[in-house]
Structure 1
Amino acid sequence: MARFIRDILAALSYEPPVDKGPVDQESLSRLDQRLAPFADKGAGPRSAMAIQPGECSVWDGNPRDQPGLTAENCRSLIDSIASEGGNRIPVLVRLNPPGSDRPYQLLVGSRRRFAVDWLNHHGRPDMRLSALVVDLSDEEAFRLADIENRERADISELDRARSYQNAVDRFYGGVQSRMAEALNLSNSQLSRLLALAQLPEEVVGAFATRDELRVRYSELLTPLLRRPDQRGRMVAEARLIGEQQQTLALQGERMIPPATVLARLREAATPHAPEDARDIAIIAGGTRIGRAKASRSGGLTVDLSIAEDADLDELLARLRETIVAVRGV
């Protein structure tokens, strides 16, 4: 089995994506397609076995955000596994070291494990998890999980970046070029991901959700964070935005969009001449269309430059968000 998995690693590392066509459950990754023929249980060395989800601890090298798995975001998979009587694509596990409280360690298949475990607690207690037991090193397990998760839309760029940040020291001796070669990435691609992982927590918290934070944003923000004075101003603004996001969420209102967050962070890092009040950019469609300023007397000044083809609904929504933000300064 180990030889078979290593053959998969060698092949999938360089295979281009294929047109998989329609499927009747979650879209299959290329790894899933390779594993599907071994779903049938049997006595052969490459046959899947049935285990209980609770017999697996989740390997900490997998980039997936385990607490983020819920019945809601796994609903289609839960329904598919329930109708088929089990997971059609086996998960990959390896034996835990002696003395561990669980016999297996889950390497690939977090969503399938979650779905079967959920069904066990909601009317299907006898359902088991189809699993293949493999013998892989940590580095091989990381590459295998990465191959699968690169094709998953529900893995955020931030989760993937933080996984890479941990892996470069843990599996590749801190040598970025070794990791890039192993993952079939360019050094520049890997550098951009690692820069995203290194953004301050305050900056991450300024965005409404982790999914909104993109690699391209870190490319704009990272150079501004290198100078201590600019970093301090940006982090302070990020804290303010984060507090405003929390208030909007509690009130059930639309949260500050990522383009506005990005513009405010970049503007905060740039020194301003002393003024009676702070300016906050008004961003619509990714373009600055004006500014809002609160005076010490409590008034509010708004300057706008509106194009003829401007989307008035979006403009008014952005204007409202900005006014709320200025009042909170």
Structure 2
Amino acid sequence: MGGFVRDILTTLSYEPDPAETSRVEGAELSRLDQRLAGFVQGNGRRTAISIRPGDCSVWDGNPRDVPGLSADSCRSLIESIAQEDGNRIPVLVRNNPPGSELPYELLVGSRRRFSVNWLNHNGRPEIRLNAMVVDLSDEEAFRLADIENRERQDITELDRARSYQGAVDRFYGGVQSRMAEALNLSNSQLSRLLSLAQMPDEVVDAFATREELRVRHSEVLTPLLRRSEQRERLLVAARGVGQEQQRLAAAGDRMIPAATVLTRLKQAAMEGGAARAQDMQVMMGDDRVGRIKPGRDGLTVELAIAGDADLDRILAALRTAILDSRARLTEEKRDSALD
């Protein structure tokens, strides 16, 4: 971390071209002004202020995972703000109601607020957070934040989808068509996002990261989750894959890619019998090298080993699959006992 601090706080080699910086900033500010002009109340009072990051609470309607922000994920922005002695593109805040603990509420600009706050605590206490005070309702703030965040690659589809799920009831009376019209989305686009938001935690945890779970995956899994028998088999498989992902992460090994996770969950849901649903694929990277099947007297292992295969890697993958199969069988027996 010390090297990171020095890299940011000592601007040694990079000097941005003034003309290019001015052009980019002018375009950003113009785009922001156009967006604000699309809101009735946004055409009213707008006040530019300079505040401390701690002067504003964060509005709970924003889809960004604020606790998930870190110095590493905001590194380039921190560097830019340090070089420019502040954020040139203002964050958007509104006044908190009288009697609130903090004077302002942050609507747009969580990364900029985090970056200035980080710098304040790491050698640059003089930097202030440049902000614009706007008068927006909750629904208008949600629409504006959504427009901003659609362009941000670090907003996951899952976070966006879950923010939509909460917004349907909160801002649009539970009517999806009203929300789709307000956000300039088709009804099918919104329905697909809401289906992603409803993915069970077991399915989310089966993927290596939240970023890897996408709308296209939920389109495959949602129909399977609607059928009770297939749902149970899918969730059992998802728990097993999630446990395997945790072991791989702890060992520093490559985690199971999203395409493989999807295939395994789909296969588990589609297979007909309980024993078949427990079959465990032995994967080495993206390649299937075998299968483990539970039987009355234990586990049966089937392997297909090429002549030039890395035996150490196969044995490691086999060990992981056997442990996972045991865990799944134990969980199934426990669930059956509870039933």
State whether TM-score is above 0.5. yes
Report the counterpart of residue 100 of structure 1 in structure 2: 100
With normalisation by structure 1, the TM-score equals: 0.79
Could you tell me how far apart the structure 2 residues matched to 1:292 and 1:223 are? 26
Report the counterpart of residue 146 of structure 1 in structure 2: 146
Could you tell me how far apart the structure 1 residues matched to 2:237 and 2:26 are? 40
CA distance change for structure 1 residues 115 and 137 in 2, over 3 Å: closer, same or farther? same
**Is structure 2 residue 79 aligned with structure 1 residue 79?**
yes
Q: 1:48 is paired with a residue of what secondary structure? A: strand
CA distance change for structure 1 residues 89 and 181 in 2, over 3 Å: closer, same or farther? same
Report the counterpart of residue 90 of structure 1 in structure 2: 90
CA distance change for structure 1 residues 214 and 285 in 2, over 3 Å: closer, same or farther? farther
| Cα contact 1:283–1:289 (8 A) shared by 2 | yes
Q: 2:123 is paired with a residue of what secondary structure? A: coil
| Cα contact 1:92–1:107 (8 A) shared by 2 | yes
Could you tell me how far apart the structure 1 residues matched to 2:26 and 2:59 are? 20
Count of aligned pairs between the two proteins: 291
Q: CA deviation at 1:253?
A: 1.1
Could you tell me how far apart the structure 1 residues matched to 2:46 and 2:319 are? 62
| Cα contact 1:96–1:104 (8 A) shared by 2 | yes
Deviations 1:36-63 (A, max 9, x none): 89xxxxxxx6452100100010000000
Letter in 1 for 2:49: M
Alignment of 1:144-293 (within 5 A): 144-273=144-273, 278-281=278-281, 291-293=290-292
Report the counterpart of residue 41 of structure 1 in structure 2: none
Q: CA deviation at 1:291?
A: 4.3
Could you tell me how far apart the structure 1 residues matched to 2:142 and 2:120 are? 28
Deviations 1:214-242 (A, max 9, x none): 00000000000011121112112211111
Aligned sequence identity (%): 62
CA distance change for structure 1 residues 33 and 57 in 2, over 3 Å: closer, same or farther? same
User: Unaligned regions of 5+ residues in structure 2, if any?
Assistant: 1-18, 35-44, 326-339
| Cα contact 2:157–2:214 (8 A) shared by 1 | yes
Could you tell me how far apart the structure 2 residues matched to 1:142 and 1:277 are? 43
Report the counterpart of residue 34 of structure 1 in structure 2: 31
Could you tell me how far apart the structure 2 residues matched to 1:163 and 1:321 are? 38
| Cα contact 2:57–2:105 (8 A) shared by 1 | yes
Q: CA deviation at 1:278?
A: 4.1
Report the counterpart of residue 300 of structure 1 in structure 2: 301
Alignment of 1:54-133 (within 5 A): 54-133=54-133
CA distance change for structure 1 residues 96 and 283 in 2, over 3 Å: closer, same or farther? same
Could you tell me how far apart the structure 2 residues matched to 1:105 and 1:284 are? 49
Q: 1:171 is paired with a residue of what secondary structure? A: helix
- The range that moved more, 202-211 or 46-55, is 46-55
| Cα contact 1:49–1:132 (8 A) shared by 2 | yes
User: Unaligned regions of 5+ residues in structure 1, if any?
Assistant: 1-21, 38-44, 307-311
Could you tell me how far apart the structure 1 residues matched to 2:114 and 2:149 are? 16
| Cα contact 2:268–2:277 (8 A) shared by 1 | no
- The range that moved more, 184-193 or 319-328, is 319-328
Could you tell me how far apart the structure 2 residues matched to 1:261 and 1:278 are? 15
User: Given the alignment, which residue of 306, 313, 324 partners 1:328?
Assistant: 324
Could you tell me how far apart the structure 1 residues matched to 2:26 and 2:314 are? 39
Q: CA deviation at 1:324?
A: 2.4
Could you tell me how far apart the structure 2 residues matched to 1:245 and 1:146 are? 32
Q: CA deviation at 1:328?
A: 2.1
Letter in 2 for 1:237: A
Q: CA deviation at 1:302?
A: 1.9
| Cα contact 2:290–2:301 (8 A) shared by 1 | no
Q: CA deviation at 1:35?
A: 3.5
With normalisation by structure 2, the TM-score equals: 0.77
Q: CA deviation at 1:325?
A: 2.5
Report the counterpart of residue 137 of structure 1 in structure 2: 137
| Cα contact 1:277–1:293 (8 A) shared by 2 | no
Could you tell me how far apart the structure 2 residues matched to 1:276 and 1:177 are? 41
| Cα contact 2:47–2:134 (8 A) shared by 1 | no
Report the counterpart of residue 328 of structure 2 in structure 1: none
Q: CA deviation at 1:95?
A: 0.6
Could you tell me how far apart the structure 1 residues matched to 2:172 and 2:277 are? 50
Letter in 2 for 1:255: M
CA distance change for structure 1 residues 321 and 187 in 2, over 3 Å: closer, same or farther? farther
Could you tell me how far apart the structure 2 residues matched to 1:154 and 1:28 are? 21
